[in-house]
């Protein structure tokens, strides 16, 4: 682990607190130690949530991403970790992004959503429905893992995760985007993942 505390559900802020709906602040560089600690907690939390051994009592739902406001810090940071298995070779592939001051600078008109909807550690009980987002986006920001400014184009599921986390920095939650009258209604040109 990158920091000393064992991740617990007690770190989480839920959608019944006003802070989760606030916009997050830009992070100053060089990184202050308390801000760096927030990133370390985000990374440790997500990794812990995905580790079947450490998280053996399933105290934390497995997460592919976590944003700083979700652990009580309204600053522009999130961490994403997606584990994939290549179906042909069976090899495991891990995609990680530890973003500071991320910004979405481009979005495709093509809309996409995850077939079964989305979930969020800050939302108790899943709110059902399709969450339409852009299929492809361009993200700019500082990647803490690479220790440099990056501009990346991401697509499909990865792009959905990015937009979910980015929304947290603006105080928005996935269910804001669900069609209130017809939650599962989809347009014919959407890509369903
Ligand atoms: Zn979330």
Give 175's pLDDT tier (boundaries 50, 70, 90). Answer: very high
Contact yes or no for 103/140 (Cβ under 8 A): yes
Q: Which long-range contacts (CB under 8 A, 24 or more apart) does 27-34 make?
A: 27/75, 27/76, 27/77, 27/100, 27/101, 29/142, 31/100
Distance 88 CA to ligand 1 centre (A): 31
Distance 122 CA to ligand 1 centre (A): 6
pLDDT score for 23: 98
pLDDT score for 126: 79
Q: What domains appear along the chain, each with residue ranges and CATH number?
A: 9-192 (3.90.45.10)
pLDDT score for 163: 98
Find the mean pLDDT for residues 10-22.
97
Q: Which residue has the tokens 């995905």?
A: 50
pLDDT score for 87: 83
pLDDT per position as a tens digit, 77-120:
999 999 998 888 899 999 999 999 999 999 999 999 999 999 99
Distance 89 CA to ligand 1 centre (A): 31
pLDDT per position as a tens digit, 29-73:
999 999 999 999 999 999 999 999 998 888 899 999 999 999 999
Determine whether 87 is an active site residue.
no
pLDDT score for 86: 82
Strand partners, 67: 78
Distance 34 CA to ligand 1 centre (A): 22
Ramachandran bin of 122, using left for φ above 0, alpha for ψ from -120 to 50, beta for the remaining angles: alpha
Q: Looking at the whole model, is its pTM more than 0.85?
A: yes
pLDDT per position as a tens digit, 118-166:
999 999 987 999 999 999 999 999 999 999 999 999 999 999 999 999 9
Residue tagged active-site, from 26, 88, 115, 165: 165
């Amino acid at each position: 682990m990158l920091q000393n505390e064992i991740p617990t559900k007690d770190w989480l802020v839920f959608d019944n607190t006003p802070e989760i709906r606030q916009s997050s602040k830009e992070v100053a560089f060089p990184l202050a130690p308390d801000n760096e600690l927030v990133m370390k907690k985000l990374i440790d939390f997500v990794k812990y949530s995905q580790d079947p051994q450490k998280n053996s009592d399933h105290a934390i739902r497995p997460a592919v991403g976590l944003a700083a406001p979700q652990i009580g810090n309204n600053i522009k940071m999130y961490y994403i970790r997606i584990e994939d298995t290549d179906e042909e070779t069976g090899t495991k592939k891990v995609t990680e992004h530890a973003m500071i001051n991320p910004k979405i600078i481009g979005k495709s008109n093509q809309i996409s959503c995850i077939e079964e909807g989305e979930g969020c550690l800050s939302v108790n009980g899943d709110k059902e429905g399709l969450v339409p987002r852009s299929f492809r986006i361009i993200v700019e920001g500082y990647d803490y893992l690479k220790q440099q400014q990056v501009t990346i184009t991401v697509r499909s599921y990865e792009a959905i995760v990015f937009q979910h986390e980015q929304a947290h920095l603006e105080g928005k939650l996935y269910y804001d985007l669900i069609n209130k009258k017809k939650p599962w209604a989809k347009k014919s040109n959407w890509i369903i993942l």
